[in-house]
């Protein structure tokens, strides 16, 4: 019996991936758990294992294809297929033979009855035979008409599908979905690699019609009418980021809280202890210190370390503290996770953040490096800007943005002193966190930065 190998859930919050390599060929005999394809998402490469063993009958994807969770990628046939097919054929032959015998018996019985009826009343029998003949002719004509109609419909479907396959770039599964939804696939603009039409494109077209794409975006004009343009496909990081932030923005009612912290003391602390951290293989940064402070804050404000389930109308409070650190790379933004940040020292955090940031820039992050985060930190201080409003990373409920510190005069003990002031931006999900909690969280962070010992002792 044929078996299907499907795309599993690749990582948390990621439902699509691009096939980077096919590791097997048609006709190969494979075992369960053997890697069959390699996929790429967020520049983290993962291999998809076979969920069953057998001989590969068909490979339904190609390198470069975009696939979604649940898509069939390989069809297997095991060793029992031939014998099962033979048994089915034997059973079918036997059924046909039984059906023929029944028809012969019915025919003989009909002839006998007709003969007896003829002996009783020749005239009446002749009349009945005439009526029977007319009925039979009418029935034959009706059957012929039905067969002709069915043949025309089948030919029409075949021609339509053949025409589509010549003009449309879409997988058989996507074509099937389009037929089931009654959508003309030739009218859809594909959002996949090289204009490939995806299942989301089909469903988006069904819901929004031709005026909108699957993303809900209004149809774009032809920009080339006004000058030269270049169409450049998004890489996997950009595509994933675009989908994730759109989903987060559409599903999460954001509130933004701002604050300023005097980090003059923190900067002195970094200067005094950076050499020790460098010897351990890391770099002491404001991000590392803030990661430790935020980890402590999440214990004091547990709703910031939670997720919300609207279907069950409940919050999910997490007893572990995993923090995402946003890393800018040449290909786009990546957000790897520091696990159990509350259990690590500032020195340990500094080393781990340095290592995982390097892995991100070298495109060596694994699926595990990207999963399980509860809260995110995005530091744009090294680039510049006075403030920004980061988007919450679903299914989290809050993210902290850090901008560049500037020197400002601060009135202390009757006189102005130059102090290093750090702008902070807190974005949070208003379904779970209200304004009072948001302000309380921000105020605690500011106090902890101005007196780091408060974060450790409080």
Question: What token pair was written down for 335?
Answer: 């957000």
Provide CB contacts within 8 A for 177, sequence distance 6+. Answer: 199, 202, 203
**CA distance linking residue 141 with residue 135, whole number of Å:** 10
Q: Which of 254, 299, 394, 430 is catalytic?
A: 430
Cβ atoms 428, 297 nearer than 8 A: no
For 155, the enclosing helix (H) or strand (E) is: helix 122-167
Question: Is residue 151 exposed (0-12), middle (13-18) or buried (19+ Cβ within 10 Å)?
Answer: exposed
Question: What token pair was written down for 19?
Answer: 């096939």
Q: Of 266, 258, 285, 267, give the one whose Cα is nearest residue 451.
A: 266
Four-residue CA torsion sign, 237, 243, 244, 246: positive
Q: Specify the 3-state DSSP secondary structure of 383.
A: coil
254 flagged as catalytic: no
Give, rounded to a whole angstrom, the gap between the first and last alpha carbons of the chain. Answer: 64
422 strand-pairing partners: 261
User: Which residues in 318-451 belong to E strands, given as ranges?
Assistant: 323-325, 327-329, 332-334, 337-338, 375-379, 398-402, 406-412, 415-429
Question: Is residue 60 exposed (0-12), middle (13-18) or buried (19+ Cβ within 10 Å)?
Answer: middle
333 strand-pairing partners: 328
Annotated catalytic residues are 430
């Amino acid at each position: 019996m044929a078996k299907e190998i499907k795309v599993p859930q690749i990582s948390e919050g990621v439902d699509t991936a691009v096939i980077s390599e096919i590791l097997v060929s048609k006709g190969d005999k494979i075992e369960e758990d053997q890697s069959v394809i390699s996929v790429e998402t967020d520049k983290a490469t993962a291999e998809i294992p076979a969920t069953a063993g057998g001989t590969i009958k068909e490979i339904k994807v190609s390198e470069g294809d975009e696939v979604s969770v649940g898509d069939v990628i390989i069809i297997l046939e095991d060793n029992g297929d031939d014998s099962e097919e033979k048994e089915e054929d034997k059973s079918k032959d036997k059924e046909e033979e039984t059906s023929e015998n029944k028809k012969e018996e019915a025919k003989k019985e009909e002839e006998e009855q007709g003969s007896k009826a003829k002996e009783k009343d020749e005239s009446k029998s002749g009349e009945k035979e005439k009526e029977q003949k007319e009925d039979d002719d009418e029935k034959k004509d009706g059957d012929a008409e039905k067969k002709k109609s069915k043949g025309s419909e089948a030919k029409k479907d075949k021609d339509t599908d053949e025409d589509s396959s010549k003009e449309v770039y879409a997988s058989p599964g996507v074509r099937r979905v389009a037929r089931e939804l009654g959508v003309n696939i030739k009218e859809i603009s594909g959002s996949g690699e090289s204009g490939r039409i995806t299942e989301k494109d089909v469903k988006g077209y069904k819901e929004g019609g031709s005026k909108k794409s699957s993303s809900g975006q209004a149809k774009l004009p032809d920009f080339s009418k006004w000058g030269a343009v270049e169409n450049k496909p998004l890489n996997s990081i950009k595509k994933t980021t675009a989908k994730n932030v759109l989903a987060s923005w559409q599903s999460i009612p954001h509130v933004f809280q701002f604050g300023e912290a005097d980090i003059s003391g923190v900067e002195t602390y970094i200067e005094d202890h950076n050499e020790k951290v460098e010897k351990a293989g890391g770099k002491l940064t404001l991000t590392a210190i803030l990661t430790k402070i935020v980890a402590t804050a999440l214990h004091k404000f547990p709703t910031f370390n939670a997720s919300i389930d609207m279907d069950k109308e409940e919050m999910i409070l997490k007893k572990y503290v995993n923090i995402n650190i946003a890393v800018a790379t040449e290909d786009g933004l990546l957000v790897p996770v520091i696990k159990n940040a509350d259990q690590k020292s500032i020195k340990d955090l500094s080393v781990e953040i340095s290592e995982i940031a390097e892995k991100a820039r070298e495109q060596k992050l694994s699926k595990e490096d990207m999963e399980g985060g509860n809260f995110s930190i995005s530091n744009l201080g090294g680039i510049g800007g006075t403030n920004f409003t980061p988007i919450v990373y679903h299914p989290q409920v809050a993210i902290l943005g850090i901008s560049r510190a500037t020197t400002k005069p601060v009135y202390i003990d009757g006189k102005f002193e130059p102090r290093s002031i750090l702008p902070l931006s807190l974005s949070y999900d208003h379904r779970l966190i209200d304004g009072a909690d948001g302000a309380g969280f921000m105020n605690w962070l500011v106090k902890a930065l101005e007196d780091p010992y408060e974060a450790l002792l409080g």
